[in-house]
Structure 1
């Protein structure tokens, strides 16, 4: 196990690169395949961007304490992304009786105050319960959940890793 987590800066860099690859694939699905992201998908994208940014900061940081801080912040956003993906997966498995497309996330933010927008996003809509793409029987939200959980577990392992003596 020590061999796996012996290079925390490299691991943070790999996670940041994986996040960028996932974001690029999301852009491919949107702009080439033609899938429009729902509000929960947008929130997951922002969480993925923030995980990438803070993981990259952790990779670029020389000191162990500051690296753990950036790793903890990345862990918080990975948990938020996992929560959003889990909620969307639940909506896909248990779609609302009355599917309404609702507004897009930008329309909600422009029209309503933030304290009303956040519950509206997590309430979901017909868009969020729709499954447009699958791979190995899992939807995009399912894959997103698995990736966020994997990132979170790695961040936790790195946070609780003992400092090596030189």
Structure 2
């Protein structure tokens, strides 16, 4: 049962990574900085899953749960940035342009990234990809926790 849960959790992260890459390379939706940050914990969860299938014990499944919770938290943070609940990093969001000279404004525009974190690029059921990542990763974290609590 433990191995099955680990396969589901790590496989879920792999599927979410593949979906993100599909949106990027097939769907033509390049990721913003926050989108890319959400991918790293999924990659970690896949690696942890492979190790957890080889190494018994509860540490690795708990580590997988932490990875899933990390990307879920990043997805929630990104959702808040998209919905203007809070400000995001200045590297990928818009910011006020008042009190800037024409030269400063031009420099700001030229230095701005092409993909902004505070705009929703794709939605399904009124939820963005970041929102779906937060939900999906939270479910994966629960599966990791179940694997950690299951006897080897």
Mark yes or no: TM-score above 0.5.
yes
Deviations 1:120-157 (A, max 9, x none): xxxxxx81111111122211001100111111112222
For the residues of structure 1 that align with 2:23 and 2:127, how far apart are their CA atoms? 15
Q: TM-score, normalised by structure 1?
A: 0.69
Q: Does 1:151 align with 2:149?
A: no
Specify which of 42, 45, 52 is matched with residue 39 of structure 2: 45
Give 5+ residue unaligned stretches, structure 1: 1-6, 104-125
For the residues of structure 2 that align with 1:100 and 1:54, how far apart are their CA atoms? 29
For the residues of structure 2 that align with 1:95 and 1:16, how far apart are their CA atoms? 31
Q: CA RMSD in A?
A: 2.4
- Quote the offset at 1:56 in angstroms: 2.2
Q: Could you tell me whether the CA contact under 8 Å between 2:9 and 2:144 is conserved in 1?
A: no
Q: Give the corresponding residue for 2:7.
A: 13
For the residues of structure 2 that align with 1:17 and 1:79, how far apart are their CA atoms? 16
Q: Could you tell me whether the CA contact under 8 Å between 1:19 and 1:52 is conserved in 2?
A: yes
Q: Does 1:139 align with 2:128?
A: yes
Q: Could you tell me whether the CA contact under 8 Å between 2:9 and 2:143 is conserved in 1?
A: no
Specify which of 61, 65, 69 is matched with residue 59 of structure 2: 69
For the residues of structure 2 that align with 1:155 and 1:11, how far apart are their CA atoms? 7
Deviations 1:109-128 (A, max 9, x none): xxxxxxxxxxxxxxxxx811
Larger of the two Rg values belongs to structure = 2
For the residues of structure 1 that align with 2:24 and 2:137, how far apart are their CA atoms? 20
Q: Could you tell me whether the CA contact under 8 Å between 2:62 and 2:144 is conserved in 1?
A: yes
Q: Give the corresponding residue for 2:149.
A: 160
- Quote the offset at 1:41 in angstroms: 0.7
Give 5+ residue unaligned stretches, structure 2: 93-114
Q: TM-score, normalised by structure 2?
A: 0.75
